[in-house]
Amino acid sequence: MPEEPKHPAILAKDLQISDIILQHIHQEARHGGRNHMKAGREDGRKKSYRIKISAQKGLELLQQHPALKDQTKLKTRNWNLGTWYEDDVVLKDTIQAAAWCQLQSFKDSVSLPEVIGMEGWEQMAASTERKSDDGGDEEKTCKKIKPFQFSFRLHTDYELFSVEMMDRRNLKVFASFESNTSPPPRPPPHDACATRLQCSLMMQHNGGAWQLWRRRKRRGARGGLLNRHDPHRPSIPSLFLANVRSLANKMDEMRLRVATKTSNSCAFLLTESWLTASIPDASIEIQGYTIHRQDRNKESTGKSRGGGVVIYLNNNWTSDSKLVSSHCSQDLEYITVKCRPFHLAREHSAVFITVVYIAPDANASIALAILHNTISAQQSKYPHAVHITVGDFNQTNLKTVLPKLYQHVKCATRGDNTLDKVYTNIKNGYRAKQLPQLAQSDHMSLLLIPAYTPIRKSAPITIKTVKTWPEGAMEQLQNCFEITDWSVFENRTLNSTQHQF
């Protein structure tokens, strides 16, 4: 082989084209041995072969191979294998895909990427330009990936290439289908282009062609910034309800719940806290939450242990909360807090949260009468507020005295019984999810997920017609003011008559 067409090239060990070229060189070198015909390299990465051969000669050898005699030869321009950049995955995969295309019967239906025929420094410049951040501009992105793009004129060849390169081999390559006719229908998700999810590629119709390129993160409103769910800005508050049976002994478990699954809850509502005046707030505080508590009073209940209710309010949801009322007797214990959160639906003015504990041996009639008076007074004074009443009601049913309230807990909370309940004045306001009990408590915990849709999202769109001033109307009105005799309003007789009237 003359010296003029020779230039260095690196061939991967596992490619079929490498085996064919090396076999031919081995025969031309009269079986001179491995060291005479090729040079190996071991540098901790995949082994490659560095040889000197013309790209045109390699293509001719490839087409003359017995395995390809029955195939139609591919007529393409002379392309250079170039230098194999190990640190550029896209360039390496593009060269590998181009070698595979040479073995296929694509005829003249494919145009290989321009980067194949570039020199080493040109390939490096194209790779650097492709890697540069363009801020999500799709037009600039298409220009930067154009040198790496395979262009197909037959849709069947395009699909075959997509299946082999992106689905089976999982290579990072760019391909487009260009046709003078209308573009084909977009393939179903199970087709080859479904691999755009695996390879982080995106298919988009652009100028009569389906193109594949890397998915880029969108920014601002296009990235869904306005639609992202903020757990601390719900239309109605998310709630966590639990019967703790001694809160002081379960503070580690409570802090763990706050730090994990239920950290997005707006309020933690606990019954049977078993707190006394000797336990300060500092011993049960949770960082980022405001405490409201009602402990059992021995003098009013005749019991020195048990009972008690606690409310933890997330400071990210509200910092404006105040105690409205509380009650402690042998039949009923409750606490009511009024909240003004940072975000609230327009149709609601405030949120009232009432946590209730009714003992199993309490007089249900007396307890329901007290709750009826308290909640009715709140609803009369604040008719547009959200009224939430939760707690351990045991066998008591609040709807017997307040039938317009809605009960949202449908699952059992202790054994086969539903003792912990949630009542609100909003229909279909919550969806209750059962959680494991808190430590050794005998009640299941509940997570109340808001299911309420604000009126601004559910109300139908109203179209209004607004009349606008026609052209020249302002001048006409001004002329009317100028020609009006305003002196009639200064007549004393008129004033005195009006005064007498």
Q: In the chain, what are the domain boundaries?
A: 110-220, 239-455
What pLDDT was estimated at residue 165?
A: 79
pLDDT tens for 246-265 read 999 999 989 888 887 656 79
Of the candidates 99, 122, 212, 126, the one whose C-alpha atom is nearest the C-alpha of residue 166 is 212
Greater model confidence, 50 or 92:
92
Q: Is the pLDDT of residue 13 over 70?
A: no
What pLDDT was estimated at residue 42?
A: 38
Greater model confidence, 235 or 202:
235
Name residues whose C-beta falls within 8 Å of residue 176's C-beta, 6 or more positions apart in sequence: 149, 150, 151, 152, 209, 210, 211, 212
Give percent above pLDDT 90 in the chain.
37
Q: Give the Cα separation of 126 and 145 in Å (integer).
A: 9
Q: Give the Cα separation of 452 and 338 in Å (integer).
A: 20
Give percent above pLDDT 70 in the chain.
68
Greater model confidence, 70 or 298:
298
> Mean of the pLDDT values across residues 143-149?
78
What pLDDT was estimated at residue 351?
A: 97
Largest CA-CA distance found in the chain, in angstroms, rounded: 133
Fold (topology level) of 239-455: Deoxyribonuclease I; Chain A (3.60.10)
pLDDT band, residue 99 (cuts 50/70/90): confident
What pLDDT was estimated at residue 26?
A: 64
Q: Is the pLDDT of residue 381 over 90?
A: yes
Which amino acid is located at 424 in the chain? T
What mean pLDDT is reported for the chain?
A: 76
pLDDT band, residue 73 (cuts 50/70/90): very low
Q: Which residues are 323's β-sheet partners? A: 337
Q: Is the pLDDT of residue 147 over 50?
A: yes
pLDDT band, residue 31 (cuts 50/70/90): low
Q: Give the Cα separation of 411 and 409 in Å (integer).
A: 6
pLDDT band, residue 303 (cuts 50/70/90): confident
> Mean of the pLDDT values across residues 193-215?
41
Q: How far is Cα of residue 315 from the mean position of the Cα atoms in its chain?
A: 24
* Model pTM score: 0.52
Q: Which residues are 178's β-sheet partners? A: 209
Of the candidates 256, 357, 260, 340, the one whose C-alpha atom is nearest the C-alpha of residue 306 is 357
> Mean of the pLDDT values across residues 414-421?
93
Sheet-wide strand order for 386-392: 321-328, 333-339, 351-357, 386-392, 420-424, 406-407
Please report the sign of the dihedral spanned by the C-alpha atoms of residue 243, residue 248, residue 254, residue 256: negative
Q: What single string gives the DSSP state of each residue in 155-223? A: HHHHHHHHIIIIIIS----EEEEE-SSPPPPPPPTTSGGGGGTTTTEEEEE-SSEEEEEE-----GGGG
What pLDDT was estimated at residue 29?
A: 59
Of the candidates 252, 309, 325, 264, the one whose C-alpha atom is nearest the C-alpha of residue 289 is 264
Greater model confidence, 114 or 420:
420
